Amino acid sequence: MEKISVAVRFRPPNPAAADPSPGGAGGGGDREWRIDDTRVTLVHRAAGPAPGAPFVFDHVFDRTATNERVYGTVVRDLIGAVVDGFNATAFAYGQTSSGKTFTMNGSDADPGIIPRAVRDVFDTVRQTDDREFLVRVSYMEIYNEEINDLLTLEGRRLPIKENLERGVYVAGLREEIVNSAEQVFELLQLGEVNRHFGETNMNARSSRSHTIFRMVIESSAKNQIDSEDPIRVSVLNLVDLAGSERNNKTGTEGVRLNEAGHINKSLLMLGNVINKLSESGKQRGHIPYRDSKLTRILQPALGGNAKTSIICTAAPEEMHIEETRGTLKFASRAKCVSNCAQVNEILTDAALLKRQKREIEELRKKLQGSHSEGLEQVVLKLRNDMHKSELERDRLAMELEEERKLRMTLEHHLTEQQKKIEGLDNTSISADQFTDSTQLHALKTPDSKYIPDGFVAHRSRYSNDVEFSPLPENLDNIANDDLWTCLNKGCVTDLDMLEMTPGLKREASLLQDATSAAPLEEPTDARCQRLEKDCVSDQQQLEESNVRCAALEKERDLLRDKNSSLQQELSDSKREANLLIAEKQAQLDDSIARCVALERELSVSRQDAERLAAEKQELAGELGVERQKMEELKQDIRVISRAFSQREGQLTSLYTKSKAILENCKASHVATLP
């Protein structure tokens, strides 16, 4: 466990509020910030230190500090750790116009943390002779809580995903494989063009989004291709946060005000996460990483597996004292957060370096054998093509999944609309649709109104063995004699035996109570008037019913039109989806074709390598035979040399004896002379 490294940097004051005293860090006024080694204290110019304990941090930089000094003190050690396999994150936090972007990006005269870190990464990689590296970079921004890829112009909203293999990552984010700092700088320039900036009262070029520049570094030991060799995969995040704002100072409105709201909300969520992490273990509870996309992406750097450094920038002017105090409190809480960083080693083929190493190794040997000048460019191009194919495959899979979800939603909506339309088509006026009996009676004709149960016609006799009437197989609109015979199971009603009630009298009015029946005898005029009123009332009720039916039919027609439009939209969506699928399938086929071509080239390279290996073995065998012959020849030479030496010795001995004999002969001859 190690604490997050926290540094505070005060920018130079604005000329209008220049500090008259050389030792202070603040602008003109009664109060100023005093910097004493690693302490920051708010003091009154006349009365001394203000109430409250001073703020203590790992490093504090005054207005004279340069980006080189800040980088060397806070960030440089992270670069070595990243190359060794540790995750690392460095980000700048502070209010708007406090110098965060200058600290991270810098200028031509004084480069910031990001360009210095990029150069140091490649310098460290070149100095590491025992490992082989693969570097990928990406550049994204969080604008209004939406993630945008700054290296593309597609403008798609990228989702955050998580799995056991990759952890938390942004799906569909473009990654470029690079092998030099210059390539990275070109991508950074492209990203800066696509980044959101705006003008406020406090800053002429204010960052309106959080940006995250990410470098993924994979490495493996050189000259080891065994599948059990571990691969180190580390991530370096360099984050430039947008500054917190107060509307009364920045004067934002409209779009800028909406941007400020999203910025302040995400920074508030970041502060909540830091607050929770700074609490003790028993009081910590749930860490709200998912409340903001910023904290979700930076989750490993906040209390996780990473080395983290935070640079809090502050404005020294007295008018910004409250904002600076808030920044220092955030920095104090962040200093209490602990991370658990460890080397990231994997033994599977999840790393891009290991997936590509086997395919490229033989091609590299072939190119090296032919002394090709474009070796690194060819290898880099192959790696980029393969990596882009994998990213394109993931993106296509994600788009197809979204299209499937959209199609299912449209089909479900279409089914619901179809059910509603069928319900309207089958709508009939029945008693189940009315809760009030008066409404039901109002829709009835005079001859079908309520009749007391005493006035009922009944059959006098029927077959006793019939328990129920069977249902016919097919029901038509007209009931004939055969249908009645079927329904009564062969029983024929004797009409003469039916007992009918004489002279049925119905109710006087729809609005009268059901218990009050019309008198049996009444004057003809009164009866005519009553019947006329009943007719008028029935006519009005019929008109109202017609109006309601017309309204229902209109609603049905509207639903039918809506259903037709939805069907048209669904058809258009299906057509567009099919076109998109066809287009993406064509792109995928193209990618597959390129991959097949690469595999074919690799196969040819493997065959050449195998042929060369076979030739090498044959030459080695021939060389062994020649060496054996050479040894035999040397042995023969040694035997001949020994025989020659012996012969030479014999000749020497014979010469000596001959010489002695010759001398003896000369001596004898001399002696015999007179």
Numbered residues of the known binding site: 94-101
DSSP summary character for residue 156: P
Contact 145, 292 (CB under 8 A): yes
HEC string of 48-64 equals EECCCCCEECCEEECCC
Residues marked as binding for ATP? 94-101
HEC string of 560-613 equals HHHHHHHHHHHHHHHHHHHHHHHHHHHHHHHHHHHHHHHHHHHHHHHHHHHHHH
How many CB atoms are closer than 10 A to CB 99? 21
Dmax (CA) for the chain in angstroms is 219
DSSP string, 527-545: HHHHHHHHHHHHHHHHHHH
* Cα three-residue angle 485-486-491, rounded to 5 degrees: 45
Quick one: angle between helices 255-278 and 321-334, nearest 10? 40
Tell me how far CA of residue 31 lies from CA of 28, 254, 325, in angstroms. 8, 35, 13
DSSP summary character for residue 497: G
DSSP string, 200-233: -SS-TTEE-SEEEEEEEEEEEETT---TTS-EEE
Tell me how far CA of residue 325 lies from CA of 8, 92, 96, 259, 505, in angstroms. 12, 16, 14, 24, 94
DSSP string, 311-351: EEEE--SGGGHHHHHHHHHHHHHHTT-EE-----EE-STTS
